[in-house]
Structure 1
């Protein structure tokens, strides 16, 4: 019986070649059934040529060879005399691929993956490939925690031996984590360890953070953080013995269990240096953060490797390799750490190039370079140059690469790639009011004028009560070593008689020349000097403070103003920084010989603190003090500080806070004070569902501030006047958004006062174009 079955099987397999059992000499070859495949390709794939002697075995091997090309789904070979006849049925080609139902994975990403696997329009269709891709897609969705995802495919025949493929994706929902458990820990509490995890059990914030959505990649990252946590605290032999991920029958809940083996605590017995140190050993040892007697920490060891590598990189050894090798002593639970130093060859910079600066001139970028061509490659100088480009505020992003020069073992190129963004602002306004009539305004500020790196601003605002004309210019590289020079001129007329603000008017004209001198990479000194001519005209019912000052000091003033400033900045970006700090001290004085004598002292500062991987705390302060001196008895009211509004205490109207003065008609108007206190605490957070947030900033803020006066005894100042008191600070909280548009920063805030007084003017919604926060 078995022999009969075997005979039948062999007969079936050899049936297509029954007519070719006897060997013959091929005089010609004929291929039938070709449609898209060219005859040349078919003959090249056929391992039989005219003149060859063939038999059944040879033909069977040739058939297999043709099948391997993947072009044919059926092949038959026959003999017509001495002619070999090959009849083929081609596989269909793909006329098109459509994908529907996918959201978590973009369509283009799916099409690119299909193309890499051989499924694309015009390619030969193979069902086995489609089934393999279907299973791979299913695995990708499972890796995202979408256990109920379903992938269905449909292959529809088309004319001319083609097929259309439709892939329908039912992504399902991401399974939520119901429980996470760690087993085997005794040194650290479970809660302490679970705080390290990005994946969390479902909580009240999960709807926003989606931290309860299971993902295989996120779990791998959490396990790596857990491993690093133990290794950084001396548990050298810590390991994760197993991880179980259980899925509920409804496929909507996930249970995670992590089994750990903590091992013993290890301390450092000795620290050694080996290899070619290049720099003096004393300097090298000063970089060691690993000390004998310390608890072993993998993080500290890695940090030491980076410090030594960076130090060697600063000396031009760009390809230096530093490796910390721990050698544990299992009996004493100690570890000896040896840092092996291989400096490699000193590298030199062949060329520095810039990519992406379509508007900014190459010279503007090159003058920020601290790394020079032809000099040895310094890691510090290369990074310092990148930071200086970032601080210009011209670019959304700056990246640097240091590829090796082909054919050279000691040369590199330094390539900076930049992505330009709006580096200025344009604002215009058109309005109408019964008191002011038609209001027109235009302001243009360009920090990178025509790509030259120079700053230019031009302003024109006109209405029935105010006209302002201004022009400013600054060349940040007046000299090649970074001394800046600039100037500004202005003309301003303000007539408040037709408004309810105050009953006086001013005409002023002036200008100044400014110089800046760099002390080092992060610190500058600034100097300014210029005149201002001011004329005050009192109206029918001016504030008593105005009348008192004009009666005492006159109505015409020519003041020569001199200023000096000190600025220190380590901010990482010119427009929307996220780390570093900024401090600025400035003093301005109306020099002796001016018609009024006064001075103003100002401090401005901010600092960034990372709270989590996504949240950053930003603290700000703005302080000011002004006073009269010499023959001037009272601080000029037109130089007072005001508080409230955008850029000050948000949630309150512009310039509405601080002392108010009585006017001759019995009304009260803001008059400002000689002391300013403004503080801000804000948390920077990313907007959900937006991938590119480099041009966006969203914050939750709390502002506090006010304008104060140390001369509140005058009867004409009747309300909201006090010396600096915490109880008199106004406070507001809210949300803010800044978007860097083509016309400059566009900012919005929604704020509500959390500490105000009766009579304060509040505003819930405020916006500004050309100003960020």
Structure 2
């Protein structure tokens, strides 16, 4: 009996070892006490690793069964291709053959899936340089890579792995990938639709059969992700139009034998059209039920629409959020009836009122936390208000310091009624609206030392200083503005400046104006969007008329002199709801300003008033296509002893930022030249300005980050008029143009150019097709 048992044990040991690649030699089946354990064949793997995976220690009593189990454990480590156990007296001998290590991995032939992505996939599966090579893992990865290509419609893709043995028990792996071509959709068949035609449903899909532009759009190339998106669009289309019981029964994707063509079949069930019978509100409403009902976007008798119900739920949730119920949950549940009507019940679960424990800022490397905290309307310790949190986010975006601003309200761990408000910002250059080096068609090269920063050393204060020179303007200036002079948001600023302008180089009538002065301003916030500003500006203006000056200039100097000291009172009102300070995509900004010189104190008595607007309306929900309207209306005149607006305060029009397609400052009446002056008359400006433009802003193809650049199709119209010379505003006198523009905030300042076509230029107008500027405001 004992001998038979030993025989069976030996047989068991042999077959078990054979199945795991383990060979037993000189190993007897009887039990023995292990006096020592020796390991042979190790190259990279340490002996400690072997001992930790081999559950037999010196002094243990072992038999064949235990040794087999111990060998299994060691083999499972995946480090060895062969394990041999032997016995020498009472010493246990373990001879191993290590698996080779990966010395190098190369990938060739891939284009659609990047090498980095493939390497990441290999690494996550345990295949990278220095790691132990296992062929089973290699084969599994080949299949996974093929599945990735099949999901993109590349059914004839192939992956061939080459394993080259190298010295010191290493291997080099090379993956040769043939991505193949994406299968083209030859036919899409929709079965079961009657309420809407095949053409209507096919228009909803991103996947198309080959068309005129398919070579550029690749919309005929099959991809599993695109099909999933198309099915969801069709489902939403039906649910938004009353088909509550709509269902996509099945989809079939058939592939041609050549694996180059795909045939899609969609089987759908539309069901009946449902209308809304009744609207009910259930749950804890918190606010008055009548107020909530006013927020509901559907009413009894309307066609059922899932989109309107979802939007209504969001609106109600936001309303509850303003009361501090940040995690309010509102679900709209339709209950269909046999008469093709449905009762819609909004289940309102406000949850617990939450309070803000802490407001945190991330990403503001250069901007101090205090600057961001000044814009907060949601306070720490207060009830969490969705409206105040979003208003604070909008105020951060309007600063112009950040490319993006996002906000999250995670719950505080261990607290049921507290949240943190985390604002994440991505900073951008905030001093790029003015630069020390530039060029424009009007002023030529602009050189000099110039620093302009809207976020000076991250303090949120605006500082500008510099010396600049060009062929038309020489200037020195310094300005400072503190938007939060007081904690209530009262701003204070001041500036000093000196400027010499040679208008002979600016397409206008020839004269030289020297100005020196200074100003102080204060601003008061009315609410989160509006401000009142007032200030005083003192200037000394000196005029120098030349031989080619217009007669109007000569007459003005003869009547009023050529040296003027003026004190101007500046008043303005602004309202800004734009979602960004730079390159806005939604909202309205408008301002009204007036400047009037003080009587008795000033040498000249005149006033100017301006009204400006900027309106942005997104066309799509991603804010990539945006419609913009701009207007600028100005009027000025003299009063008291001054009969008209001084000519050097005239408005001008034409050029970048005005009516593109016409040379800068050239629109309006020309100055009257003296009989002895043979040069062409030049623009003289006027006391009335009317400008406007409409733009369609669209995304730039193949550019991922468009936060600092934009392109637009535009239509401009405008002119300047002069009531003192009986040139009054008339619609027929407005100059118009159309074209395309590009703007880009570069490291040295903003770059802007436009290709424009003047639409109704008249004799004497100076047109210009290409216009650009670098390093100046646009």
Shift of 1:465: 6.0
Matches within 5 A, 1:666-681: 666=678, 667-681=680-694
Shift of 1:285: 2.9
CA distance in 2, matches of 1:548, 1:254: 82
CA distance in 2, matches of 1:417, 1:499: 45
CA contact (8 A) 2:571 2:594 kept: yes
Give deviations 1:547-587, integer Å, cap 9, x for gaps: 23223333333333223222222111111111222222222
Give deviations 1:491-540, integer Å, cap 9, x for gaps: 22234579985432222222322222211111222223222222222212
Equivalent position to 1:150, from 135, 158, 163: 158
Q: Secondary structure at the match of 1:670?
A: coil
Q: Does 1:700 align with 2:706?
A: no
Give deviations 1:192-219, integer Å, cap 9, x for gaps: 3333333344444545544444332122
Equivalent position to 1:763, from 741, 761, 768: 768
Shift of 1:178: 4.6
1:273 aligned partner: 281
2:49 aligned partner: 41
Which stretches of structure 1, 4 residues or more, deviate above 6 A after TM superposition?
8-15, 430-433, 435-439, 497-500
| Uncovered stretches (5+) of structure 2, i.e. residues with no partner | 1-10
1:288 aligned partner: 296
2:735 aligned partner: 729
Q: Does 1:684 align with 2:697?
A: yes
CA distance in 2, matches of 1:722, 1:204: 52
Give deviations 1:677-729, integer Å, cap 9, x for gaps: 3222222222233322222222233333222334445xxxxxxx663324541
Matches within 5 A, 1:218-233: 218-233=226-241
Equivalent position to 1:573, from 580, 585, 595: 580
CA distance in 2, matches of 1:759, 1:218: 57
Shift of 1:393: 0.5
Matches within 5 A, 1:17-32: 17=24, 20=27, 22-27=29-34, 28-32=36-40
Moved more, 216-225 or 489-498: 489-498
| Uncovered stretches (5+) of structure 1, i.e. residues with no partner | 1-7, 714-720
CA distance in 2, matches of 1:600, 1:751: 30
CA contact (8 A) 1:26 1:49 kept: no
* Change in 2 beyond 3 A, CA 1:127/1:769: same
Shift of 1:253: 4.7
Moved more, 311-320 or 762-771: 762-771
CA contact (8 A) 1:673 1:709 kept: yes
CA contact (8 A) 1:26 1:84 kept: no
CA distance in 2, matches of 1:590, 1:195: 63
1:717 aligned partner: none
CA distance in 1, matches of 2:444, 2:619: 50
* Change in 2 beyond 3 A, CA 1:85/1:693: same
CA contact (8 A) 1:649 1:732 kept: no
Matches within 5 A, 1:559-708: 559-593=566-600, 594-612=602-620, 613=622, 614-664=624-674, 665-666=677-678, 667-708=680-721
CA contact (8 A) 1:571 1:580 kept: yes
CA distance in 1, matches of 2:728, 2:539: 30
Equivalent position to 1:477, from 476, 484, 505: 484
CA distance in 2, matches of 1:321, 1:431: 56
Q: Secondary structure at the match of 1:427?
A: coil
CA distance in 2, matches of 1:485, 1:345: 43
Equivalent position to 1:382, from 382, 386, 389: 389
Moved more, 610-619 or 68-77: 610-619
Moved more, 129-138 or 437-446: 437-446
1:351 aligned partner: 358
Q: Secondary structure at the match of 2:375?
A: coil
* Change in 2 beyond 3 A, CA 1:200/1:656: farther
Q: Secondary structure at the match of 1:382?
A: helix
Moved more, 340-349 or 436-445: 436-445
2:758 aligned partner: 753
Q: Secondary structure at the match of 2:225?
A: helix
CA contact (8 A) 2:13 2:68 kept: no
CA distance in 1, matches of 2:493, 2:239: 56
* Change in 2 beyond 3 A, CA 1:57/1:297: same
Q: Secondary structure at the match of 1:219?
A: helix
Shift of 1:144: 2.5
* Change in 2 beyond 3 A, CA 1:284/1:591: same
* Change in 2 beyond 3 A, CA 1:46/1:401: same
2:3 aligned partner: none
* Change in 2 beyond 3 A, CA 1:144/1:299: same
CA contact (8 A) 1:559 1:595 kept: yes
Matches within 5 A, 1:331-350: 331-350=338-357
Give deviations 1:148-179, integer Å, cap 9, x for gaps: 43333222222222222222333344444454
- TM norm structure 1: 0.90
Moved more, 248-257 or 377-386: 248-257
Matches within 5 A, 1:398-417: 398-417=405-424
* Change in 2 beyond 3 A, CA 1:510/1:545: same
CA distance in 1, matches of 2:506, 2:90: 111
Q: Secondary structure at the match of 1:233?
A: coil
* Change in 2 beyond 3 A, CA 1:722/1:207: farther
